[in-house]
Chains A and B, each alone.
Chain A
Amino acid sequence: MRTKHSLWPLVGAVAALAVLASVGCGPKRPPAVVTGGTGATAARAGATPGDSETPEPPFAGAEIQPIKDETANRDDLGNVATGDEASPLADIYFEFDQSSLTDAARAVLVRHAAWLAAHPDARVVVEGHCDERGTVEYNLALGDKRAQATREQLIALGVAAARLRTASLGKERPIATGHDEAAWARNRRAHFAVSR
């Protein structure tokens, strides 16, 4: 690969030749006009800017359209789509950058398993959430681990696996919007979106 410095003598020479070629070495010829469509150039002596082009969106006649067929939105199912609506099952909380269950969280999950045993029609999306510290992707992976760990524990406590789905929300939907330890602690959680 050439360096930019070693390139310049060549560039200058090519440029000089290109211009000289187009004016035919004659000192007083009318200047050539470079015209042509995108990507192609053609020299035409004496041409005027009559080469007309219509700047178009990338695809002729097309404009970016909002998506209008989004009827599959499941707001009405009362699951993850609506955010932080009240759940019969309380959130559990995690330590910073951890997905292992605390003793307090395990105690809560014992009660949740009992509630789910008493409500056999209930299905749950276990949401894993993170605080805002950290990157989008890593927090989605961490939230996923939190949701999975929570789901596994509920299965171990006797809840049928088919009733439990998981969804990581990473740092995308904090319940507390502050930027301090109190807010972060509230956001490191698993939320239980229950549909019946």
Chain B
Amino acid sequence: MEPIDSPSRPCSSRYSRAVAGALLFLAGTSAVVICRSSSAQEPPQPASGVHEIVIGGERQRFALPACVPRHNDEATIAACRTISEVLRKDLQFEGIFQFVPDTLLKAVPQLNPDSPRFDDWKAIDAQILVTLAADVSGGNTSVSLRLFYVDTGQSMLAKQYTGKADNPRIFAHQAADEILTKVQYRGIARTKLVFTSDRDAVKGKATKELYIVDYDGYNPRRVTVNRNLNILPAWSPDGRDIVYVSYRGGIPELFLAWIYEGRSQNFSGQAFSPAFSPDGKRIAFASSRSGNMEIWTANSDGSGTRRLTSSTALDTAPCWSPTGQEIAFTSDRSGTPQIWVMDSEGLNVRRLTTVGDYNDGAAWSPSKEHPEVAYTSRIEGHFQVAVVDLATHQVRQVTDAGGSCESPGWAPSGRHLVFSCTRGGRWQIVTADREGRRAQTLDVGPGNNAQPDWGPWPTP
């Protein structure tokens, strides 16, 4: 039984960790053959040390032929089509594989998903073959996933999933995460995003409600229903709760939503910008209850409130380091808003950002390999997402939109960011990798959608 990762969604997520004993793909056809027990070998390095699956100098070429319907009924064919499309997008999202082009896939004769003819796939230079087959009957969907190493016909993975037929995407997400496990990655296909949206506002009454979507923007679900302002949501490390700011009591206060139970509770006085500690035991927030905006922490049940900062400047937007030992926050004590770091007891305060005259909204990467902090920075009159490397203090700009982008949050892998940008005249949710590549505007629904937070790994 694999233990659950120590929950450390700091400003946005948790560590990636290698799955013990996971197999690796074998690439080279001419690999030197040594017959020895693999158990005597040093365990493979954690996933966080792996960036691209490059063996023998090339990315693995995946053949991902269309899912094969077990029956020729409409429901099965439709589910099959969805599962194929979603699995492909999930795998492409990581940016670590090459795919055999569709034109070549079409050249392959009829596929038997359970027993493929590997010569067909060798002929189009595929290295890894993924077969899918689906069957929808009696309100249930059953999906078979198989993964083969084409050269040897070695089966790497064989799974059958059965579940309700209403959302075939979930099968593809599960399959994607399992395939990634085989290359020592921890996939994020089953993670979720929370954000605030004004889509329910009626004329003369500007309201914002919280919504949750899958990581790819699909499957929206409404969380709050109070026709008021509900903003700045942040996930708990176990993914069961969301802490947020609601004005439903007249002033901004923290609420905790138990999202699988459909209830919430006010647990603090006036507060902004909540963030769970990586162990889920404490919540950092900003409050001016003492007269000036300062950083505070409290236990996650609202008890044990403590003030960490004490300056005449504005201190706000706290976020935790992945170890929980430090807190990054925004302060204008130097004259302009900048990101500062202190230890989680409030001592040892030092300035982190030195480039630019307006930096805010820090989000600490959960990655061990790339210790870095994302934030919003005013660059040439626009707000953009930037990342500062904690070792070198080098800054890189992640977004370059015509409008503004802000509110970055990290995927639990630390390989991707989510943020909101003004696109097409409204705020929209955007994901990109940590370098800003492959930015995608998610279709999460109408209205202005902003302040996203990327949820933790799904619980196994």
Contacts and interface: CB of A to CB of B under 8 A. Distances in A.
B460 A83 contact: no
Interface string B162-195: 1100000011011000100010000000100000
Contact of A59 (B212, B240, B358): B240
B44 A14 contact: yes
B78 interface: no
Q: B interface, by DSSP: helix, strand, loop or mixed?
A: loop
Interface in B228-261: 228-229, 231-232, 239-240, 247-252, 257, 259-261
Interface string B35-66: 11111011011000111101110000000000
Interface residues of B, number: 115
B19 A12 contact: no
A41 B21 contact: yes
Which of A49, A54, A73 has the most C-beta atoms of chain B within 10 angstroms of its own C-beta? A49
B206 A81 contact: no
Given A49-B159, A64-B259, A144-B288, A73 B25 contact: no
A87 to B, nearest CB: 14
A147 to B, nearest CB: 9
A117 interface: no
A173 to B, nearest CB: 5
Nearest to B368: A1
Interface stretch (B104-112, B145-153, B320-328, B345-353): B145-153
What 8 A-B pairs are tightest by C-beta distance, nearest first?
A65-B262, A39-B2, A15-B24, A70-B226, A137-B317, A62-B260, A49-B158, A135-B360
A56 interface: yes
B56 to A, nearest CB: 8
B15 interface: no
Interface string A56-94: 111100111111111011110101111110000000000
Given A79-B250, A168-B252, A39 B361 contact: no
Contacts of A174: 206
A14 B36 CA distance: 10
Which of B42, B163, B249 has the most C-beta atoms of chain A within 10 angstroms of its own C-beta? B249
A121 B307 CA distance: 34
B416 interface: no
Contact of B250 (A16, A52, A69, A80): A80
A141 interface: yes
A125 interface: yes
Contacts of A145: 293, 314
Given A34-B156, A144-B288, A83 B260 contact: no
B448 to A, nearest CB: 10
A94 B39 CA distance: 69
Contact of B459 (A4, A8, A59): A59
15 contacts: A7-B49, A8-B54, A10-B42, A15-B23, A18-B24, A20-B33, A20-B34, A49-B160, A54-B161, A59-B459, A67-B263, A135-B361, A136-B361, A167-B252, A172-B208
Contact of A51 (B19, B159, B205, B264): B159
Interface stretch (B86-94, B217-225, B437-445): B217-225
B41 A17 contact: yes
B445 to A, nearest CB: 15
A55 B171 contact: yes
B262 A31 contact: no
